[in-house]
Structure 1
Amino acid sequence: MIDIELARIPPRRPRANYYPERFVLTARTELTDRMSILNERHLRAELAEYVRQYNGRRPHRARELRPPQPTHPVADLNSQRIRRQRLLGGLINEYERAA
């Protein structure tokens, strides 16, 4: 289960909400707009996998193309052999150096 913490936004502070809105926009465009959600359980499972990938593997420009909470070493894409891993039924592809 995904724990969601409710945070009140201060009045007349439009910038206080842009981090969560950016994540929701990204998750919508990369995940939910591209697949059919069957039920709440299916949505929670797909979102949990997406959040793991988003925080652990996905490069972020603001962090010099490093993930916020790296769960894997950064791939050296200069290697000759690259391995592709498909996530979320092929909606997202991850690339890393092959062993």
Structure 2
Amino acid sequence: MRSRLSTLFDALLPVLATLAALAVGAVMLLFLKVNPIEAYAALLNGAFGSFNSFAETLVKATPLLLVALGICISFRGDVINIGGEGQMIVGAILATWVGLT
């Protein structure tokens, strides 16, 4: 019984964390006198409203996913890597330099 509750809790924890983040965001939006439902609808429509917007979301998420994958690999090898963001910026600068020369 204990194992089943632990598994259920592990499965529900990300959902509860997401709902808590949305609730905190809604409170902040209310302080700004913005309707949170309209704001979240615009967010979802902008990211997933059409095929082109979904494709653009994937294009913009790909570098972040690759950085996360690299950090996961280093953590799996017991190597601490806290420079993912800087590595992405340097990679973008060097890619721009290569593209321009």
Per the normalisation by structure 1, the TM-score is 0.35
Relative contact order higher in (CA < 8 Å, ≥ 6 apart)? 1
Q: Which has the larger radius of gyration?
A: 2
Higher helix share: 2
Higher strand share: 1
